[in-house]
C-alpha cells in the first residue's frame, strides 16, 4: 500500500520543499516553518515502512533520544508528529516525521568522496567535533551505534554536526544490538567487532566507529573493504587494518597508534571515553606524546606475519626467540630489563606478552622436550584462537540465515544494484525507463498516474525510491502522469484558515495567497470565499486564493486623501469590492482628493456594501463675458433700464457712476469697461448717464460737434431764444 507524500505537515505549519536526502528508513526534505518563519529539515518515514513496528520504534526512539540533548555538535530536533495521509487503496496511513535543525553544508562522506584524504589539521578538527558530540551523548546515557561519515555534517561555517540517532539506544538498553529480524544494526565498514558478533555494545563501540572514521579521513578509504557486508564484518572481527602511514607517505606514525588504540578488537584495550580519545589527539597535535603509543598492533602487523611464517616452518621458533628479538612495551617501566616475547591474538587484536622462562642462573636454556611441550601448548592456543574465529563466523552466518528465513529466502549476498532516481531526471520517457532498468537487470513496471497535476508524461513517483540498493530482478514501478484532471473546488467558507488549506490541499489544489476582507456575517479569521469559487470545476493542482474575514469594521475617514490613496486604504480593509466615484467643484478641497464618502467615516461597514466616493474637481473656473458692442450709447434706445437688463443677462453687475442720473429712462452715454471688452462673469460695469431731456440753459450749450443728444439739446435751446 503506497501513499502520496503531503505538501505540508501539522495543518499547514510546515510547508515541504525539495528533497535533500534519502536513507533506508526515511527521506529528508527542506521545509518552511510558517509559524516561526524559519527554514527547517523534516525527516519523514517512508510510506512502505509506516506499518513496520521495528522501524516505527527506531524512528520514535530517535526523536526521544535527540530531543533531550542540546549540544552544538548534534543536530537539534525541534518537533515531531505523525501525519495522516490517504493511501492509493483509499485507506489511511500515519507517517511519523521529525522537524530538525537545517544544516546547510555537506556530509563528511561527500567531502571525502570529492576531495580524498583530509589534511591532518582538518581531520583533527572534524574528529574533535565528533568526539564532543559523543562525549555529550554518552554523558546523557545515549549510544549512537552508527557513527560514519554519512552521519557527520560539516556546515558552511565549518561546524561539525552529528546526526541520525535512528538506531541509538540508552546505555541500559544497549543489549538490543539486533533488530527483531536479527539484522545487525550499524554500517558494515564502521561496525565494531562486538556489533558484528551480535554482542552487547557500550560507549566504546561508538569510539571504535569513530576510529574507523578518523582512519578514513587520514587515508581517504575505510579501514576494511570487501565484496559483501559479511566479508567486511569478518575483517572487523579478525583482521588488523593496514597502518595509515603505510598508505599515506609522510604521515606521522603517531596516527597509527591513535587509530590502533581506538580500533582495538577487545574493547578493554580501546579508549575508555570520548574525552580520553580527544585528549590524545589534542596532545599529539600540540607536540606531546599521547598515551596511545603504549600499544600499536597496526605498526606491528609485519612482525605478526613474520612470526606466523616462522611457526609454520619451525614449531619451536617461538620458544627459541631470543630476548633481544622480543618487543618491549614502551609504557612499562623497565621494559628493556624485563623483555618479553609477544604473540598476536587476532580475536582481541592485541600482542600479548609471554614471559621468558629463565632458570636461576639467568640464562635461557631449555631441553628439547620442554621446547616440544611449549610448541604443543602454542598449537593448542592457536587452535583455540582459530576455533573462536570460526565460532564468530558461524554466529554471523547464523544471523544471516535467520534474516534470510524471515525475508522469504532472499539472499543478502545476492548482487545488488542502485535504483536510478527517475523523478529528478528531465526528459524521461517510458521507453527510456524500460531500457535503463533492463540494462541494470531490474524488471520495469510502468503505471499511469491519473491523480497527478503535472503535465502528461512526467514521472511523478517510483517504488523503490531512487538511490535504493536492491537485488537484481527486483520490480521497479514508475508512475507517469496522465495529465492534470479536473475536480470540484470544495466549499471551505466559514472554516478556519488552516483547516481550509488542509481541505483544499487534500483535494489536490494549491493555496498560494490569502486576502483579508471585511465581512460582518463571517467570524473574524474564518474563510469568506475562494477564487475560483466553491463548486466550480478546476484542474487539479490549480492555485486557489482564500478570502479571510476581518469581521465587522468601521468606515475609515479618507476625506482629504488623494483618490488613489483612499481606494488603497479601503481595498486593504477588504472594502474595495464595489466602489463608485463622482466629481464636484469645491474651493476648499484640492482637485483629485476626496470630499466625502457614503457610508460616512465611523459607520460600520462590510465587504458587501458599495462605497460612494465624491472627488473634488477643484475651484470652479470663472466664466468670461464680452460686453456687447450693439448698445447704441447716448441714444434714446440706450436707457439705463435697457442697458442694465442686457448686462445683467450676461451675469454682470451694474452700478451708476456717482452723481449721474439713476432714473430708468436716463440715457447711458458710456460704460466702464468699454464695449467689446472681456471681463469675468459677475464683474461690475459702471454706467455714465444723462437725463433723457435737457433744460433751456443747457440747450444753449449744444452745438453741431456733439452727438445726437447734444444736437437735440441745441435745437431746443434755439427755440427758447
DSSP3 helix / strand / coil % (the chain, rounded to 5): 30, 25, 45
The reply to whether 418-481 shares the fold of 105-172+184-305 is: no
Spell out the domain ranges in the chain: 8-101, 105-172+184-305, 418-481, 486-549, 553-616, 624-690
Q: Which are the contacts of 204, defined by CB distance < 8 A and separation ≥ 6?
A: 192, 267, 270, 271, 272
Contact 654, 679 (CB under 8 A): no
- Which pLDDT does position 332 carry in this prediction? 32
For domain 624-690, the CATH architecture is 2-Layer Sandwich (3.30)
User: Closest Cα to residue 164, out of 77, 79, 48?
Assistant: 77
Q: Any idea which fold 8-101 has?
A: Phosphorylase Kinase; domain 1 (3.30.200)
Query: Residue 184 and residue 712: Cα distance in Å, rounded?
Result: 142
Say if residues 667 and 692 touch (Cβ distance below 8 Å): yes
Residue 311 has pLDDT above 60, yes or no: no
Check if the beta carbon of residue 271 is closer than 8 Å to that of residue 207: yes
Q: Residue 415's beta-bridge partner residues?
A: none
How far is residue 532's CA from residue 542's CA, in Å, rounded to a whole number? 9
What's the confidence (pLDDT) of residue 166? Answer: 53
3-state DSSP assignment of residue 714: helix
Rounded to the nearest 5 degrees, what angle is found at the Cα of 166, between the Cα atoms of 161 and 170? 95
Return d(Cα 6, Cα 19) in angstroms, integer. 13
SS3 label, residue 175: coil
Higher-confidence position of 70 and 250: 250
* Average pLDDT estimate for 285-301: 60
**pLDDT tens digits, residue range 121-138?**
999 999 999 999 999 999
pLDDT tier at 83, thresholds 50, 70, 90: confident
Judged by DSSP in three states, 209 sits in helix
Cell, residue 201: 555494545
Q: What CATH number matches the domain at 105-172+184-305, 3.60.70.12, 1.10.3720.10, 1.10.510.10, 3.60.15.10?
A: 1.10.510.10
Judge if the upstream peptide bond of residue 488 is cis by omega within 30 degrees of 0.
Answer: no
Instruction: Please answer whether residues 411 and 472 qualify as being in contact, where contact means their C-beta atoms are separated by less than 8 angstroms.
Output: no
User: Active-site residues: which are they?
Assistant: 146
Task: Report CA torsion sign: 300, 305, 310, 315.
Answer: positive
Annotated binding-site residue numbers for ATP: 43
Q: How many angstroms separate the CA atoms of 354 and 363, rounded?
A: 17
Domain 553-616 matching CATH 3.40.50.620: the answer reads: no
Q: Which fold has domain 418-481?
A: Trypsin Inhibitor V; Chain A (3.30.10)
Q: Give pLDDT tens digits for 9-63.
A: 988 999 999 888 877 677 889 999 999 989 999 988 877 776 677 777 777 776 6
More confident residue, 664 or 304: 664
Of 597, 588, 577, the C-alpha closest to 519 is: 577
Locate 126 and state its grid cell.
Answer: 572534524
Contact 142, 99 (CB under 8 A): no
Which element (helix H / strand E) includes 14? Answer: strand 14-22
Q: Which of 47-61, 183-197, 662-676 has the highest mean pLDDT?
A: 662-676
Q: What is the pLDDT of residue 118?
A: 95
Region for 535 from its dihedrals, namely left if φ exceeds 0, alpha if ψ lies in -120 to 50, beta otherwise: left
Residue 90 carries which DSSP code?
S
- Which CATH code, of 3.30.10.20, 1.10.800.10, 3.40.50.2030, 3.40.50.880, is assigned to 486-549? 3.30.10.20
Annotated binding site: 43
The pTM of this model reads: 0.43
* Residue 77 three-state SS: strand
Residue partners of 693: CB distance under 8 A and separation at least 6 = none
Q: How far apart are CA 519 and CA 634, in angstroms?
A: 75
Rounded average pLDDT over 375-384: 71
102, 101, 214, 194: which is closest to 147 by C-alpha?
Answer: 214
Q: Are strands 684-690 and 667-672 parallel, antiparallel or unpaired?
A: antiparallel
Percent residues over pLDDT 70 in the chain: 75
Amino acid at each position: 500500500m503506497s501513499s502520496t507524500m503531503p505538501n505540508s505537515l501539522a495543518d499547514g505549519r510546515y510547508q515541504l520543499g525539495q528533497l535533500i536526502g534519502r536513507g533506508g528508513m526515511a527521506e529528508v526534505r527542506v521545509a518552511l516553518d510558517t509559524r516561526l518563519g524559519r527554514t527547517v529539515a523534516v525527516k519523514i518515514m517512508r510510506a512502505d515502512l509506516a506499518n513496520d513496528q521495528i522501524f516505527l520504534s527506531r524512528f520514535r526512539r530517535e526523536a526521544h533520544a535527540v530531543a533531550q540533548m542540546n549540544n552544538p555538535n548534534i543536530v537539534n530536533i525541534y518537533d515531531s508528529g505523525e501525519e495522516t495521509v490517504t493511501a492509493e487503496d483509499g485507506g489511511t496511513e500515519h507517517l511519523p516525521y521529525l522537524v530538525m535543525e537545517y544544516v546547510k553544508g555537506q556530509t563528511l562522506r561527500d567531502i571525502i568522496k570529492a576531495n580524498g584524504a583530509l589534511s591532518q589539521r582538518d581531520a583533527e578538527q572534524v574528529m574533535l567535533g565528533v568526539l564532543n558530540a559523543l562525549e555529550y551523548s554518552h554523558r546523557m546515557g545515549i549510544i549512537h551505534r552508527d557513527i560514519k561519515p554519512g552521519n557527520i555534517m560539516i556546515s558552511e561555517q565549518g561546524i561539525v554536526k552529528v546526526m541520525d540517532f535512528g538506531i541509538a539506544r540508552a546505555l541500559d538498553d544497549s543489549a538490543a544490538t539486533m533488530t527483531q529480524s536479527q539484522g545487525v544494526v550499524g554500517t558494515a565498514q564502521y561496525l565494531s567487532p562486538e556489533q558484528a558478533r551480535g554482542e552487547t555494545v557500550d560507549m566504546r563501540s561508538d569510539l571504535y566507529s569513530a576510529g574507523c572514521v578518523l582512519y578514513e579521513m587520514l587515508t581517504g578509504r575505510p579501514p576494511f573493504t570487501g565484496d559483501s557486508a559479511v566479508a567486511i564484518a569478518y575483517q572487523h572481527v579478525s583482521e588488523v587494518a593496514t597502518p595509515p602511514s603505510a598508505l599515506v607517505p609522510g604521515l606521522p606514525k603517531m596516527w597509527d597508534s591513535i587509530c590502533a588504540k581506538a580500533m582495538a578488537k577487545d574493547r578493554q584495550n580501546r579508549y575508555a571515553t570520548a574525552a580520553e580519545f580527544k585528549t590524545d589527539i589534542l596532545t599529539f597535535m600540540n607536540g606531546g606524546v599521547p598515551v596511545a603509543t603504549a600499544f600499536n598492533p597496526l605498526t606491528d602487523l609485519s612482525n605478526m606475519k613474520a612470526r606466523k611464517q616462522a611457526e609454520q616452518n619451525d614449531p619451536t621458533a617461538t620458544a627459541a626467540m631470543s630476548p633481544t628479538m622480543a618487543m618491549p612495551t614502551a609504557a612499562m617501566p623497565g621494559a628493556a630489563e624485563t623483555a618479553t616475547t609477544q604473540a598476536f591474538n587476532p580475536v582481541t587484536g592485541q600482542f600479548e606478552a609471554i614471559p621468558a622462562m629463565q632458570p636461576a642462573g639467568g640464562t635461557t636454556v631449555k631441553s628439547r622436550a620442554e621446547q616440544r611441550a611449549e610448541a604443543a601448548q602454542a598449537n593448542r592456543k592457536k587452535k583455540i584462537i582459530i576455533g573462536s574465529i570460526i565460532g564468530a563466523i558461524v554466529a554471523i552466518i547464523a544471523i544471516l540465515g535467520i534474516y534470510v528465513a524471515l525475508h522469504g529466502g532472499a539472499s543478502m549476498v545476492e548482487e545488488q544494484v542502485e535504483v536510478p532516481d527517475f523523478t529528478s531526471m528531465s526528459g524521461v520517457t517510458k521507453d527510456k525507463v524500460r531500457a535503463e532498468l533492463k540494462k541494470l537487470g531490474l524488471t520495469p513496471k510502468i503505471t499511469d498516474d491519473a491523480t497527478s497535476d503535472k503535465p502528461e508524461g512526467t514521472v511523478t513517483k517510483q517504488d523503490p525510491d531512487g538511490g535504493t540498493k536492491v537485488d537484481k530482478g527486483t520490480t521497479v514501478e514508475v508512475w507517469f502522469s496522465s495529465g492534470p484532471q479536473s475536480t470540484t473546488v470544495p466549499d471551505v467558507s466559514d472554516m478556519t484558515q488552516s483547516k481550509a488549506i488542509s481541505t483544499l490541499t487534500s483535494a489536490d489544489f494549491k493555496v498560494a495567497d490569502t486576502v483579508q476582507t471585511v465581512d460582518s456575517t463571517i467570524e473574524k479569521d474564518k474563510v469568506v470565499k475562494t477564487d475560483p469559487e466553491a463548486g466550480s470545476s478546476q484542474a487539479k493542482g490549480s492555485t486557489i486564493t482564500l478570502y479571510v474575514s476581518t469581521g465587522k469594521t468601521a468606515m475609515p475617514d479618507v476625506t482629504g486623501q488623494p483618490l488613489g490613496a483612499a481606494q488603497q486604504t479601503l481595498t486593504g480593509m477588504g472594502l474595495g469590492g464595489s466602489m463608485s466615484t463622482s466629481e464636484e467643484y469645491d474651493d476648499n478641497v484640492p482637485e483629485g482628493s476626496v470630499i466625502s464618502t457614503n457610508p460616512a467615516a465611523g459607520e460600520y461597514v462590510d465587504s458587501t456594501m458599495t462605497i460612494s466616493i465624491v472627488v473634488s474637481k477643484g475651484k470652479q473656473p470663472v466664466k468670461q463675458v464680452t460686453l456687447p458692442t450693439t448698445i447704441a450709447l447716448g441714444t434714446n434706445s440706450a436707457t439705463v433700464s435697457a442697458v442694465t437688463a442686457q448686462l445683467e443677462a450676461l451675469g454682470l453687475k451694474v452700478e451708476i457712476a456717482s452723481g449721474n442720473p439713476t432714473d430708468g429712462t436716463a440715457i447711458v452715454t458710456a460704460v466702464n469697461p468699454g464695449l467689446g471688452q472681456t471681463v469675468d462673469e459677475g464683474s461690475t460695469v459702471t454706467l455714465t448717464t444723462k437725463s433723457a431731456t435737457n433744460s433751456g440753459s443747457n440747450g444753449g450749450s449744444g452745438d453741431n460737434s456733439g452727438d445726437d443728444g447734444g444736437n437735440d439739446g441745441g435745437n431746443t435751446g434755439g427755440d427758447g431764444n
